[in-house]
Amino acid sequence: MNQNIISFKMFIRNIFSDGMLSAIICIPLLLAAIYRFVFPLIVQHYPMLKDFNLYYPILDLFLAIMCPYMICFASVLEVLDETDMKINRYITITPLGKKGYLISRLIIPVLFAAIVSFVLLSFCSVSDMSVWTTFIISILATILSVVAAMIILAYAGNKVEGMALAKVSALVMVGLIIPFVITDSTQYVFAFLPSFWIAKFLISNNYWFILPAIFLSGGLICILYNRYSTKI
């Protein structure tokens, strides 16, 4: 575990030495600040926005997913940079090993992302979610971010390709808005997206909707990880 922490610290140092990656990680903080301080002022000056409060959960979902997605995206770009320079091959043959490399590069950042997502959503939510709902949404959003990250890792060969694939991987989040804009049974056309069930849970507070969100995300992560593991 100590080796994993040391490797993770080196990983973090590399990320913050890159201006672009540092900016990516700061985006959720900027967004949270807008939610917390700017949005209430806008509503105060434009009271008619209160009539759209049924759509406020979309904003919270966006914040919930943005935090882990950006952290995972920055991690993925750094991993691809190491892959491009063949650094990962040298690291995986050290005592850290392949397992330790993946823990320090993926697992620890994901856990950190879940915590940050929960904290930001707790203080900056615009739809007044309960603490328990906030916790669940943060976990599900983080798992969904892992799916997006694994799409990039599985199919990108370098940092440039990773940035291009980020646009494609973001499509897994489309389901977050579907239940809000399509209210009839047609919405279930998008039931194959884990994000669809996350939105369904937030709208209905039906805990059964958590299961398909987890199973679909888990299945995609396993498939994508198997492809990625052959590359390292």
Confidence class for position 60, pLDDT limits 50, 70, 90: very high
CA angle 145–82–150, rounded 5-degree value = 20
Higher per-residue pLDDT: 62 or 12:
62
> 5: how many CB neighbours lie within 10 A of its CB?
12
Domain extents for the chain? 2-229
What pLDDT digit, counting tens, does each position of 4-58 carry? 677 777 778 877 888 888 888 889 999 989 988 888 888 888 877 776 777 888 9
What's the pLDDT at 186?
93
What's the pLDDT at 191?
94
C-beta of residue 74 within 8 angstroms of C-beta of residue 25: yes
How much is the average pLDDT of 162-176? 88
What's the pLDDT at 232?
66
Residue 1 has pLDDT above 70, yes or no: no
Q: Nearest to residue 123, comparing CAs of 203, 34, 45?
A: 34
What pLDDT digit, counting tens, does each position of 83-122 carry? 777 776 666 666 667 677 777 778 888 898 999 999 999 9
pTM, whole model, 2 decimals?
0.89
How much is the average pLDDT of 126-138? 91
How much is the average pLDDT of 166-190? 91
What pLDDT digit, counting tens, does each position of 190-229 carry? 999 999 999 999 999 899 999 999 999 999 999 998 998 8
